[in-house]
Structure 1
């Protein structure tokens, strides 16, 4: 059986955000950590993710949005575990992000008009992480403000990580 851990960004996703909808629709999707509010403290988020991953030997798929992608990269730099893959959705371009290949299959979804990351920076992150790049087009930060609610294309990407 595969576990699915939702790795939140900096803030609390709105109730109709795609990640919240997925958590409601799939009982096996668990927050790691439960979505906290700002500020984003990388060490705390990495520790919470490690606790969640270490809680089982089952293969795990990480589903990260925004700063959650940073959490995954920092976690992978310091820890190992039964992670089978990661969906990294609209990672922000900030200083100090680990820029080494992730030790598991990953897909980076990059927007053409994300206010937190240029497409070129997103391409570079995907390449440095060894992630498959998905050009999402002009979707903003792929969040509620950008009109995402439902995101069936993302669910297909999660399924691709399983296959």
Structure 2
């Protein structure tokens, strides 16, 4: 079974987050949510170690700053492990063009820690950016520009805010269905 690796944003543990619900799927690996929000290096290492440890191809499901962790990881580690990724679902990436809410680090702190600039090279694997029409951290037109730079397709989710616990999505059946459809597509391609 393909592992599904869940790449969290800057939040800490949050049992009501949809990624926590996806983590209960067989084969799912949820990366640490207790990392220092500024420690991009540790977050990239966590992702590298999880992909390298997988017994076969993986699907990545990143949310918010987890998307930024993923694109930094892809740039840093290259084909050594990125060739194991069959697909990435990139959910509501922030664009970091304006300050985040007060609970998050300031842009100057994120830049000093290496989060900025956001890498804009094409990703070396298939990717889908899941776009919210009303995300306060990622205006749709800016997210579309990032998706184009990454070579990702865009899937509109409608009005789901930042797709975080404040958005009230809970288990979020839509995301569970997207992960299932991505796995099914992979297995169909392998069978042909």
Give the alignment's TM-score, normalised by structure 1. Answer: 0.92
Q: CA deviation at 1:160?
A: 3.2
In the alignment, what sits opposite 2:40?
Answer: 42
Q: CA deviation at 1:151?
A: 1.3
* Aligned positions of 1:10-21 closer than 5 A: 10-21=10-21
Kindly indicate whether the alpha-carbon contact (under 8 Å) linking 1:62 and 1:83 is maintained by their aligned counterparts in 2.
Answer: yes
In the alignment, what sits opposite 1:27?
Answer: 26
| CA RMSD after TM alignment | 1.4
* Aligned positions of 1:64-143 closer than 5 A: 64-79=62-77, 80=79, 81=81, 82-94=84-96, 95-143=116-164
**In 2, Cα distance between the equivalents of 1:129 and 1:153?**
23
Further displaced range: 38-47 or 122-131: 38-47
Q: CA deviation at 1:13?
A: 4.4
Higher Rg: 2
Change (3 A) 1:101 1:113: same
Give the structure with the larger strand fraction. 1
Q: CA deviation at 1:48?
A: 1.0
Give the alignment's TM-score, normalised by structure 2. Answer: 0.79
> Deviations along 1:17-71, whole A, 9 cap, x unmatched?
11111113x1311112x21254232111101111111113410001101000011
**In 1, Cα distance between the equivalents of 2:38 and 2:164?**
17
In the alignment, what sits opposite 1:149?
Answer: 170
Q: CA deviation at 1:161?
A: 2.5
Note the residue ranges of structure 1 that are not aligned, 5 or more in a row: none
Note the residue ranges of structure 2 that are not aligned, 5 or more in a row: 97-115, 186-192
